[in-house]
Structure 1
Amino acid sequence: MFEFTTDKDKAVHAALYVLKKVGNADYHKVFKILYFAEQFHLKSYGRPLTGDSYQAMPYGPVPSFLYDVFKAAEKGTSPFDEATERSGAFSVTRHGKMPIVKALMEPDLDELSESDLEALEFSINENGGLKFDELVKKSHDTAWDKAEKNLDIEMSYFDIAEAIGTSKEMLSYIELQAENSSIRLK
């Protein structure tokens, strides 16, 4: 399995962009909108939007770094300095069991390319109005299922792209992009 290097600033500003568009939201909604934006970007442009490592969790894919940032915002600390440093962009409060995320700053659009914004807008428009259960069902795609069945919590970007019917040519291009970026093969 290969993974792209996480662009941590882009991940934060992509989440800020989502929150600007949909308003305060729970972790789940933000994470699923970002996941589907990643898929769209992979299929359309052959590279992920943020490169964050997606984990196959019970309610669907979760971006690992951004999860750490949100938890740091909620708890005020993290064992990961990079997450703590970026957590000031968000506040997190709990309403019952659901942690609600609020953006404390505007997204820096210089951190997001035109294709990033296109993917985010597409995903917000398609998924922003979906309910929790609908997002769970939709995100339990073949990439999630494959990671879950193999007891491998980390999802492959190749599988994520393949799950939405990315062409063989684009899949080959994604593989080439992965080889040419800061990738570690597993």
Structure 2
Amino acid sequence: MLRNKIHFDFRKENAIQAVMWFLSRHGYRLDQMKALKLMYLADKAHLAKYGRPIAGGSYYAMRYGPVCSELYDLFKDPSGIPFHLEDNFLKADECEYEEDCLSESDKEILSEINEKFGSKDPFSLSSYTHELPEYKNIWDENRKEGRKKIDYESIINDEEMKEIIVDDQSAWDF
């Protein structure tokens, strides 16, 4: 079995524009936890279908579910980005996201995730992500703090897709 071979760097601009995409569909105000869960689900779905996440980065199991560490850090220090955190809500001026930064497949998956999960409250999304195997298999429910790394290999359910990604990434190793 493949272990720790799959890695995707955090694509900051993609992450920012994907969050802006969600914000533009939620009145430019979105609960931080909900945004983190929607982005995780979007990355997971894009990875499964297209072999890469939208934002990428390092994923961790935390108390309220899976989180992209770099995105979470961005939310905590949003200097130089088009949204800000206020009382646990991401807020932005009513400006459009930069559509050219997102691929057609990115927008397709963001739409699908928003359609399926966009109306759910943050704690329902948290509960949903607690049932995902990649989270459930490593998180101890009695744990209240901290985090545990979620490997990309555990996020991808399709063995053939794992092989394709590993082969693709191996081609770039020198």
TM range (shorter): 0.7 to 0.9
Contact 1:15 1:34 in 2 (8 A): yes
Q: Which moved further from structure 2: 117-126 or 128-137?
A: 128-137
Where do 5+ consecutive residues of structure 2 fail to align?
141-145
- Write the distance in 2 (CA, Å) between the matches of 1:114 and 1:38: 14
2:111 pairs with one of 121, 135, 140: 121
Contact 2:15 2:71 in 1 (8 A): yes
Question: What is the alpha-carbon root mean square deviation over aligned residues?
Answer: 2.0
The normalised TM-score by structure 1 is: 0.78
The normalised TM-score by structure 2 is: 0.83
- Compute the displacement of 1:181 (Å): 5.6
The residue aligned with 1:50 is 55
The residue aligned with 1:174 is 165
1:93 partnered with 2:97: no
The residue aligned with 2:92 is 103
The residue aligned with 1:158 is 153
Q: Secondary structure at the match of 2:156?
A: helix
Bigger share in helix = 1
Overall identity of the aligned pairs, in %: 32
- Write the distance in 2 (CA, Å) between the matches of 1:123 and 1:129: 10
Contact 2:17 2:97 in 1 (8 A): yes
1:70 partnered with 2:75: yes
Match for 1:61: what amino acid? P
Deviation per CA, 1:121-156: give whole Å up to 9, x if none. Answer: 11111111112332112112111123426x972211
Contact 2:62 2:147 in 1 (8 A): no
1:11 partnered with 2:15: yes
- Write the distance in 1 (CA, Å) between the matches of 2:159 and 2:84: 41
Contact 1:54 1:64 in 2 (8 A): yes
Q: 1:58 to 1:106 in 2, by over 3 A?
A: same
Where do 5+ consecutive residues of structure 1 fail to align?
74-83
Deviation per CA, 1:89-117: give whole Å up to 9, x if none. Answer: 112211xxxx0111244311111100001
Q: 1:180 to 1:147 in 2, by over 3 A?
A: farther
Contact 1:6 1:52 in 2 (8 A): yes
- Write the distance in 1 (CA, Å) between the matches of 2:64 and 2:172: 30
Contact 1:5 1:181 in 2 (8 A): no
Q: Which moved further from structure 2: 22-31 or 112-121?
A: 22-31
- Write the distance in 2 (CA, Å) between the matches of 1:152 and 1:176: 29
